[in-house]
Amino acid sequence: MGSIEVTFRCSDSDSNGRNDFYTDDVAGLYFTQAPGGIHIRMIEISVAQADGAPRRAYVPPATMTAHPKAGYWYFALRGCEDLDGVVTPYGARNDDRFGFTAVPDQYRTPRDLIFTTNEAGTLYKIDPRGNGCFQTRPKAGSQPAAGALAWPYNVWRLDPRQYGWSKLD
């Protein structure tokens, strides 16, 4: 996702006249329209279908349904923490920052980890069992409800290690 965001920013994929990151949701990296009404399709449609919290109603093909990709739902993070612990929202576009989290649809084994990354490119992991990453656990294979991803999984933490995350080796 990081390299896709860099490409989005460098090429001004949404033609808004700014070199910014797309931070509204995951599905928009497929469905955002460029001039002429063509979808930018920066990610596979299967990743767009696995957006755990699309922020707007897209007009997908009639055959498209929401479902996890490779057993994961993908989320655009809502903001980042600063040095004082204050969370600043990203908004729909952000000049400097972005973040994503991948959450397993089901927890079956200790290998079913949550992953997160941001503009720095470091990938972190955490074993979610007992951590309550969802405020309301969705039914397996069903798209999570809006706002379902709970703190501290929905924003980028200044030091993720303080919250139990470890760097992916």
pLDDT tens figures, 114-137? 899 999 999 999 887 655 565 555
Q: How far apart are CA 25 and CA 74, in angstroms?
A: 9
Q: What is the mean pLDDT of residues 70-75?
A: 91
| Range(s) of the domain holding residue 128 | 1-169
Q: How far apart are CA 24 and CA 96, in angstroms?
A: 14
Q: How far apart are CA 45 and CA 8, in angstroms?
A: 16
Q: How far apart are CA 131 and CA 45, in angstroms?
A: 30
Number of domains in the chain: 1
Question: pTM value?
Answer: 0.84
Q: How far apart are CA 15 and CA 34, in angstroms?
A: 6
